[in-house]
Structures are given as structure tokens and as C-alpha cells.
Amino acid sequence: MEMEGVKLPVVEIFNSISGEGISAGEIVTFVRVAGCNLRCDYCDTMYSYQDEEYELLTPQQIVNRINNFGTQQVICTGGEPLEEDKPKRYLPLYLAKQGFEVRIETNGSWSVYNQQELQKFGLDGEGINYTLDIKCPSSNMAEYNLFTNLEQLGLNDEIKFVVQDKSDIDYALKVIDDYKNELSKQEIVINFSPVFEELAPKKLVSILQEHQTYFAQFNLKVRLSIQLHKLIWDPEVTGV
């Protein structure tokens, strides 16, 4: 698919550690695109969907900036990188075609790539992985969850529940129960991430321990995910 000359809305490109999930602690380069269709109550990157907060870059300009950091691992985040009918949806595919290992952080309201989209870039899905956010009630966005995505995920993909209270945890456990066969068969990592300064991590650990027998029964890969970058730097600092 031709992308040369297309300009994409980019909020920031920076090199840091991955703060959460499978890749937590690894040195990666982030590409944050502008624009998001959701408005989660606890969103910590609201600047990514404010119109004045981005610059327009060609895919090659983005590649050049990534190359300046010398890392092969790229996390495409937002905003929302997978919004359909927008050129930014194809940036992760373009980057994978250039040889980068790409992880896509998506809000879970848009479909992951289908085979036709992959084939347009000469890809088979290798080198592209997903961190799929499943919205819980406290986000006020749970109605937008696209659960059919769970059937398309595979090894090295992960889902994330950002939880603030008991209703969120109960919701997450219900989703896990409904899709336990898919999650187990495809070895999907299941992250529980407490809303920063709203739910104490040690309390969440205790709750997960209460359900560990169930998780083990179905070979579910459940883990606690803490936002490391908010512990290392000021939570309000961007570009880290």
C-alpha cells in the first residue's frame, strides 16, 4: 500500500522504557498519534486528542526519528492508532514493513488488522503484536468494547483491564470467564492495571490471589501491571 507523501498526526516520538505489560522495563521508542474516539474518565493522555497538540509527519520522517534512537522495538500508541478510515491506522504496518518490531496499544473499540490489510503491506502478522485495552465501567466507555478482537489475538498479544474499584474487577472477571477458552488457547497475557492513586496495587494483588485457583484451572496468564514510568518520573511528565 502506498503511503509516501501521506502526512500523519503525531503528538510525540520518544525513547524510554515500556512502562507496563509484557514489555515492561524494556527500552523502546514510542510513537504517539493524535486523535481518539473515546473519552475515558481516567485518561492520562488527554493531550493526545487536543487538536493543537500534534505535528504532521510523513511515514519516512517518522522512521527517520525512530532510527535516531537506534531501537528496533516500537510501541504505537495514542490517542488511538487503529481508528478506521484514517491513514494513521496503517502506520504500524508501514513500520513493521521497515523491519521494526511493533506493538500496538489500542483502546479496543476498533478491529485489529485483517489478512487483507496485512497482505497490502506484504506482511503475515509477524512482528506485530497488540495490547488490547478492555474498558471497564469506571471508564464510562465499556459499551465500545469490540470483543470479537479476542478471537483474533495470539501469542505475545495481551489484554489490559484498567480497574478502579470492585465493579471494574467484577466486570473484568466476567469478561475473562466468558472468553476463558480463547484466552487460554491463544496464551493471551491478561493484565490488571490499577488506576493510579485510586486503587492500591497491594489490594489488587490480594483480590487476584483470591482467584488464583480459577486462573490456574484454565491456564490463564493473569498478572499485575504497574505503570513503572509513573513511579520513576513525575506522573504529569510527558515524553517518558
Helix (H, G, I), strand (E, B) or coil at 136: coil
Q: Encode pLDDT of 87-131 as tens digits.
A: 999 999 999 999 999 999 999 999 999 999 999 999 998 899 999
pLDDT value at residue 21:
85
- Answer yes or no: is 2 within a domain: no
What mean pLDDT do residues 174-201 have? 93
Checking if the pLDDT of 227 tops 80, the result is no
* Binding region for substrate: 17-19, 32, 77
Laid out side by side, the sheet with 55-57 consists of: 55-57, 8-17, 27-33, 73-77, 101-106, 128-133, 158-163, 189-194, 221-224
Percent over 70 (pLDDT), the chain:
92
Note if the pTM is more than 0.95. no
What amino acid occupies position 103? R
Mean pLDDT of 159-184: 96
Closest CA to 212 of 166, 185, 176, 160: 176
Peptide bond into 79 cis (omega under 30): yes
**Residue 236 pLDDT more than 80?**
no
pLDDT tops 80 at residue 18: yes
3-state secondary structure 163-203: ECCHHHHHHHHHHHHHCHHHHHHCCCEEEEEECCCCCCHHH
C-alpha–C-alpha distance, residues 97 and 104, integer Å: 14
Question: Which segment of 38-52, 101-115, 142-156 scores lowest on mean pLDDT?
Answer: 38-52
Q: Name the residue with higher pLDDT: 239 or 57.
A: 57
**Residue 3 within any structural domain of the chain:** no
What pLDDT is stored for residue 234 in this prediction?
Answer: 64
Q: What is the pLDDT of residue 107?
A: 95
Cell digits of residue 51: 487538536
Task: Report pLDDT for 211.
Answer: 96
What is the overall mean pLDDT for the chain? 91
Residues 6+ apart with CB under 8 A from 211: 173, 222
Separation of alpha carbons 27 and 33, rounded Å: 19
Mean of pLDDT values over 185-200: 90
State which residues form the domain around 141: 8-232
Residue 237 within any structural domain of the chain: no
**Would you say residue 102 lies in a domain?**
yes
Q: Residue 139 falls within a domain, yes or no?
A: yes
Instruction: Identify whether 208 is part of a domain.
Output: yes
Binding site residue list: 17-19, 32, 36, 40, 42-45, 77, 79
In this prediction, residues 146-163 reach a mean pLDDT of 95
> Alpha helices, DSSP H only, in 122-165?
none
How sure is the predictor about 213, in pLDDT bands with cuts at 50, 70 and 90?
very high
**Residues placed in the known binding site for S-adenosyl-L-methionine:** 42-44, 79
Domain count, the chain: 1
State the Cα–Cα distance between residues 176 and 116, nearest whole angstrom: 29
Q: Is 217 exposed, middle or buried (0-12, 13-18, 19+ CB in 10 A)?
A: exposed
Residue 17: CB atoms within 10 A of its CB come to 15
pLDDT for position 51? 61
239 in a structural domain: no
- Please state, in angstroms and rounded to a whole number, the distance separating the CA atoms of residues 48 and 21: 21
CATH value at residue 127: 3.20.20.70
Residue 171 confidence (pLDDT) above 90:
yes
Is the pLDDT assigned to residue 44 strictly greater than 70?
Answer: no
Binding residues for Mg(2+): 45
pLDDT for residue 228: 77
CB–CB of 19/228 below 8 Å? yes
Tell me if 88 is assigned to some domain: yes
Question: What does the pLDDT read at residue 157?
Answer: 96
For the annotated binding site for [4Fe-4S] cluster, the residues are 36, 40, 43
